[in-house]
Amino acid sequence: MKLRLFFKRYKSDREKAIAKLLDKSLGIRHKRFELYLMALRHKSAARNIYNKPGISNERLEFLGDAILDASVADYLYVKYPRKEEGELTKIKSRIVSRSNLNSMANAIGIHKLLETDLQATHSRESIAGNALEALLGAMYLDIGYEKTHHSILRLLDKYADLRKLEAQEADFKSRLYEEAHKLKTELRFSTVECDEGRGKKQFKSQAFIDQKLIGQGRGSSKKKAEQAAAKKGLHKLNGDRK
């Protein structure tokens, strides 16, 4: 009976699934459900389906990004009283990196609940991290910072390998994601397999920041090609700053 009452006010299976995500994965009792619907509405849906760009999740994403930064900084400041500012910044960058946020968002199924006009599966998965930040912004407005902070810690504990993130020496791709996050830009890799003849397969990768090509690379695997492209991209970014 309780389960029926819980689902009674929701209009669709998608809304029921969103409510379940909030309850089970994020551990919250929401009050203003409309905020979470907006948090999962990509700008392509707001523009092309509703013809109302102002109802997308972009403003909530902006807010959630700041809340996440503050929450993770709070967590690291308490956990590592002897670490210097530079060390704390590096660890925080890895935790809130776009690749890590996408991974957590996909783990709890956000990519399946996005309202978007984009058809490609990989596009949904790549914007899931942004939607996660928007959800955090919605939570802050709905239930306040303290409860949102506890929910973030719960999320990190369950879906992110914090020890690995804290200890790792970031590779080129991770470092490029960190730089993109600092610049508030979108990083995307386009990787294809190419036949080099004599049965030898190669992969070619291109790294884009906000649709601008910043690095290209080749390798015997997709991972190696993307690492090579990321390395060129880092050199390009660092060169542009000099």
Compute the distance between CA of residue 199 and CA of residue 213 in angstroms, rounded to an integer: 29
Task: Verify whether residue 117 is a known catalytic residue.
Answer: no
Please report which helix (H) or strand (E) contains residue 124, including its range.
helix 121-143
Is residue 96 within 8 Å of residue 68, measured between CB atoms? yes
Task: Verify whether residue 157 is a known catalytic residue.
Answer: no
Is residue 208 within 8 Å of residue 126, measured between CB atoms? no
Amino acid 143 reads I
Q: Which residues contact 227 (CB under 8 A, 6 or more apart)?
A: 171, 172, 173, 217, 219
Give just the sign of the alpha carbon dihedral 216, 235, 212, 240: negative
H helix intervals, 55-96: 58-79, 85-95
Compute the distance between CA of residue 101 and CA of residue 106 in angstroms, rounded to an integer: 8
**Among residues 79, 71, 89, 74, which one has the least CA distance to residue 140?**
71
- Given 65, 142, 179, 226, the catalytic residue: 65
3-state secondary structure of 45: helix
- Given 13, 115, 117, 133, the catalytic residue: 133
Active site residues: 65, 133
